[in-house]
Amino acid sequence: MSVIPDERTRDLSNDEISRYSRHLLLPEVGIEGQKRLAASRVLIVGTGGLGAPLALYLAAAGVGTLGVVDFDFVEASNLQRQIIHSNRDIDRPKTASAKDRIKGLNPGVEVVVHNTRLTSENALDIFAGYDLVADGTDNYQTRYLVNDACVLLGIPNVYGSIYQFEGQASVFYAKEGPCYRCLYPSPPPPGLVPSCAEGGVLGVLPGIVGTIQACEAIKLIVGGADSLIGRLLLLDAWSMKFRELRIERDPNCPICGASPTIRGLIDYEQFCGIGLPSDEAPIETITAVELKERLDRGDRLQLIDIRESHERAIVKFPGAKYIPLGQMARRVDEFDPSADAVFLCKIGQRSVFAIRALRDAGYDGRLINLKDGVNAWARDVDKSLPQY
Amino acid sequence: MPITIQIPTALRVFTDRKSEVRANGATVAGAIADFAASYPDIRQHLYDEDGTLRSFINIYLGDTNVKNLGGLDTPLKDGDTLMLVPAIAGGSCPR
């Protein structure tokens, strides 16, 4: 069954028949399938690594209307994977760059630009009128927001997510199967799973996962195919292994279960624990400039670099002892509680977990986090070093 | 009973980059506890303050979520493989 009702379709022009002939030759797509594609309205949330192949393939396939939501600007570090943007687009809004590329590829596609951050206030208005949503976001709060809005509006959420070499893809469609909350009722605590900005990502990986999402979107529109509803596809690009896991609907799901407790969009920052006062004791920080002053004064400090060896190869921090994040608890005896310990990572996020791990392991010396990490040292103190 | 636990990339920093580790346990709960005892740095990521397994990590036995089997009490047999499947959020990675 297609998500596009037949009464919305119109006949194809001769130019369209020529342009899409390779689709029309597939009996599974054919004229009817292409007419549904031309009538379809797809919203892509995020025009980054996943959104780039999504937008390009859906435009090429002849989707009638493509909405793109993003608030960000193109940066040089995006171009390793976000192939919808080009070098000349650096500093432009991503939605503007994406629109130009889509129009260049297929002028027949209507592009609707939503140059804004998706929020609980605007999501239902933005989503209304689209037949399905493809989720190419990069954070948990937006993923739950996209899921919930899709469940409330009764439309499918074509899901993809990536981390380093690993990808996940599925179709969450509460009318026919589980939703994202059935699989993951709650997100990890903030910062627990490092972002791509800290953990890195193989540039081609979102290309693969986003293309899988584009394929699923096209199948839902054309109809008649086996979609990823109720299945979670896992990909490990480094070993190039795919795996498929079953996802069951959760009868107690708070939004799509038998007795839902969520009947409207909620505060997703709060749901994901962002900006909430933590039960944890606050963590003392030091800026790069202050650290330089303490070092120049000759203060006795333990400088602890918690980054992995391949990261230290990018930028070394002189005089630091190397204890990777994953070894804090078991190496607690190597610390000297009589000297302040300053923790360094790339941007000062993972080092927070190192400090918490040491506290949990019973260490009672003074623990200080280098604010904004080694990148801040390169930015504010030793400008000869690169930021990465 | 010896079983294998497959570790996703996001958690390998706590397992010396190993993608698979061995553990012992007659149930899923037992095997995960044995695993956490061998790699103490992963504890805070697997369990919350109350000692409950965090719900952003699904545990699969074969292609089935143990939530849809017997939960953490699901019995294991020699040579079983558990797979940890955490929520990952990356997609556009703006900065």
* Domains of chain A with bracketed CATH: 6-271 (3.40.50.720), 284-380 (3.40.250.10)
pLDDT in tens, B8-54: 988 888 898 899 999 999 999 999 999 999 998 888 888 888 888 88
Q: Do residue A47 and residue B92 have CB atoms under 8 angstroms apart?
A: yes
State the DSSP string of A264-324: S---HHHHTTTTPPPSSPP-EEE-HHHHHHHHHHT--EEEEE-S-HHHHTTS--TT-EE--
B56: nearest CB among A187, A245, A360: A187
pLDDT at A303: 96
Assign B93 a pLDDT band (cuts: 50, 70, 90).
very low
Closest alpha carbon within chain A to B63: A245
Q: Do residue A188 and residue B15 have CB atoms under 8 angstroms apart?
A: no
- Shortest distance, CA A181 to any CA of chain B (angstroms): 10
B89: nearest CB among A139, A232, A248: A139
Cβ pairs A/B, distance under 8 A: 152
Domain that holds residue B47: 2-86
Closest alpha carbon within chain A to B43: A357
Assign B1 a pLDDT band (cuts: 50, 70, 90).
confident
**With contacts defined as CB-CB under 8 Å, which chain A residues touch B94?**
48, 72, 75, 78, 138, 197
**B54 within a domain of the structure (yes/no):** yes
> Does the pLDDT value for residue B94 go beyond 80?
no
Counting runs of H as helices and runs of E as strands, what totals does chain A give? 15, 13
pLDDT at B95: 31
**B93 within a domain of the structure (yes/no):** no
Closest alpha carbon within chain B to A185: B55
- Shortest distance, CA B27 to any CA of chain A (angstroms): 20
**B92 within a domain of the structure (yes/no):** no
**B35 within a domain of the structure (yes/no):** yes
pLDDT in tens, A259-287: 999 999 999 988 988 766 566 678 999 99
Taking the C-alpha atoms of residue B62 and residue B45, their distance in angstroms, rounded to an integer, is 23
Q: What are phi and psi of A302, to 5 degrees?
A: -100, 110
**With contacts defined as CB-CB under 8 Å, which chain B residues touch A49?**
90-93
Q: Do residue A48 and residue B91 have CB atoms under 8 angstroms apart?
A: yes
Inter-residue contact A367 to A359 (CB < 8 Å): yes
pLDDT at A12: 97
Closest alpha carbon within chain A to B69: A248
For chain B, give the percent of residues with pLDDT over 70: 95
Mutate to test the interface with B, among A201, A245, A247 (most CBs of B within 10 A): A245
Taking the C-alpha atoms of residue B82 and residue B80, their distance in angstroms, rounded to an integer, is 7
Q: Do residue A46 and residue B89 have CB atoms under 8 angstroms apart?
A: no
Mutate to test the interface with A, among B15, B84, B93 (most CBs of A within 10 A): B93
Q: Per-residue b/e over A224-254, b at no fewer than 16 CB within 10 Å?
A: eeebbbbbbbbbbbeeeeeeebebebbeebb
Taking the C-alpha atoms of residue A159 and residue A321, their distance in angstroms, rounded to an integer, is 41
Nearest partner of A342 among A274, A384, A293, A309, judged by Cα:
A293
What's the per-residue H, E or C state across A246-265?
ECCCCCCCCCCCCCCCCCCC
- Shortest distance, CA A166 to any CA of chain B (angstroms): 7
CATH number at residue B43: 3.10.20.30
**With contacts defined as CB-CB under 8 Å, which chain B residues touch A92?**
none
Q: What total number of domains does chain B contain?
A: 1
Q: Tell me the two tokens of residue A32.
A: 């009817």
**B45 within a domain of the structure (yes/no):** yes
Q: Do residue B93 and residue A49 have CB atoms under 8 angstroms apart?
A: yes
Closest alpha carbon within chain B to A142: B89
Taking the C-alpha atoms of residue A18 and residue A10, their distance in angstroms, rounded to an integer, is 16
B68: nearest CB among A184, A194, A248: A248
Q: Which residue is associated with the tokens 């969520």?
A: A262
Nearest partner of A354 among A378, A326, A374, A376, judged by Cα:
A326
**What is the pTM (predicted TM-score) of this model?**
0.87
pLDDT at A295: 95
Q: Which residue is associated with the tokens 């899988």?
A: A212
Residue numbers of A annotated as active site:
196, 345
Q: Do residue B44 and residue A357 have CB atoms under 8 angstroms apart?
A: yes
Q: Do residue B89 and residue A161 have CB atoms under 8 angstroms apart?
A: yes
Nearest partner of B22 among B85, B86, B82, judged by Cα:
B82
Q: Do residue A330 and residue B93 have CB atoms under 8 angstroms apart?
A: no
Task: State the virtual CA torsion across A159, A163, A167, A171 in degrees, nearest 10.
Answer: -10
Taking the C-alpha atoms of residue A342 and residue B15, their distance in angstroms, rounded to an integer, is 24
Nearest partner of A262 among A161, A176, A182, A172, judged by Cα:
A182
**B62 within a domain of the structure (yes/no):** yes
**B94 within a domain of the structure (yes/no):** no
Nearest partner of A81 among A204, A213, A209, A212, judged by Cα:
A204
Q: Which residue is associated with the tokens 């190869």?
A: A313
> Rounded to a whole number, what is the largest CA-CA distance in chain A?
81
Q: Do residue B91 and residue A192 have CB atoms under 8 angstroms apart?
A: no
Show the low-confidence residues of chain A (pLDDT under 50).
Answer: none
